[in-house]
Amino acid sequence: MIPIESYKTTAENQWCPGCPNFGIQTALKRALSALDLAPHQVCLVSGIGQAAKTPHYIAANVFNGLHGRAIPAAIGIHIANPKLKTIVTSGDGCIYGEGGNHLLHAFRRNPDITILVHDNQIYALTKGQGSPTTRRGEKTRMQFAGVAIDPSQMLATAIVHDCTFVARGYAGDLDGLADILQRAITHRGLSLVDIIQPCITWGNHPVSWYKERAIPIPEDHDVTNRDRAIALALETPDSFPIGVLYEKPSRETFGEAYRQRTGSKALFALLPLDPHIVQARLAALRIDAAPPSGAENKGAQ
């Protein structure tokens, strides 16, 4: 096990005191430690938002990119260096809202990365507007009369798309969450973990409201049962069944065919392309003039 202290960073933490983000941070550190993943073996990728600051607070390689664009960046990193454990850690606004299209296509690609969604059902950093997971009718600092549209159902959508690992965690249950995260990171293929996280500053409900609804999925749940997994996913937003909803062995993961030719080396470590390959293609563009004969190019008669 890697000591938890190894993941400490010097960055000044910008989260609200008591934010459940701290719980997610701790659970992730515990999972990495238990999996023996040293900081340099991990790349944390995020977009923008309070959750997206997580990579600054856990020692690892970091790509803190644009709002909504963590997933494509993470896929690029993973393809360029498959030995790095690439983990996206960002919020519901970033991954389900601004970047929703990338998530849909990530399901189809099945890259061997992990996506953690800090799902607090609110835009916190921009001070309290509704997010894609805010329940219909809840009042926000933007939807003053209450959110008038339904929340997105991204976990059900993930299962419909046959995402190979789909789970829901709760930020207040460190041990349970650390276990789920370990399973997610170990899973070969795309893993999506939606982490229910009360927002203690802008949220509409006290922590106790979440705690009552964060109910462990029964132990006899068959994670390969797709219909049952979808039904469990759709219990949210009224309740939050916590645990692994759906898991199946990966079909081919993204980039595997390319890797069969190149091995698992990082792209920067591959030998340069054999110059003859390009030379041969340039040679194929050449056209030699036929030796002159009397019949040629005399004009039409």
| Structural element, H or E, at residue 6 | none
End-to-end CA distance of the chain: 89
CB of 51 to other proteins, least distance (A): 14
CB of 135 to other proteins, least distance (A): 28
CB of 72 to other proteins, least distance (A): 4
- Of 239 and 279, the one with the shorter C-beta distance to other proteins is 279
CB of 91 to other proteins, least distance (A): 15
CB of 27 to other proteins, least distance (A): 21
- Which residues, other chains included, contact 233 with Cβ-Cβ below 8 Å and sequence gap of 6+? 153, 155, 156, 158, 159, 166, 168, 241, 245
- Of 59 and 229, the one with the shorter C-beta distance to other proteins is 59
- Of 218 and 272, the one with the shorter C-beta distance to other proteins is 272
Cα 109 to Cα 75: distance, rounded to the nearest angstrom:
9
- Look up residue 70 and give its amino acid: A
- Of 64 and 197, the one with the shorter C-beta distance to other proteins is 64
36, 82, 151 from 266: Cα distances, Å: 21, 7, 40
Cα 183 to Cα 243: distance, rounded to the nearest angstrom:
10
- Of 101 and 239, the one with the shorter C-beta distance to other proteins is 101
CB of 270 to other proteins, least distance (A): 7
- CA 179 to chain CA centroid, Å, is 17
> Three-state DSSP class for 64?
strand
CB of 268 to other proteins, least distance (A): 3
- Of 20 and 99, the one with the shorter C-beta distance to other proteins is 99
Question: Per the structure block, which two tokens stand in for 149?
Answer: 């549209």
Question: Per the structure block, which two tokens stand in for 51?
Answer: 């959750």
Cα 160 to Cα 251: distance, rounded to the nearest angstrom:
15
Bridge partners (DSSP) of residue 123 are 129
- Of 66 and 160, the one with the shorter C-beta distance to other proteins is 66
Tallying the residues shown for the chain, one arrives at 301
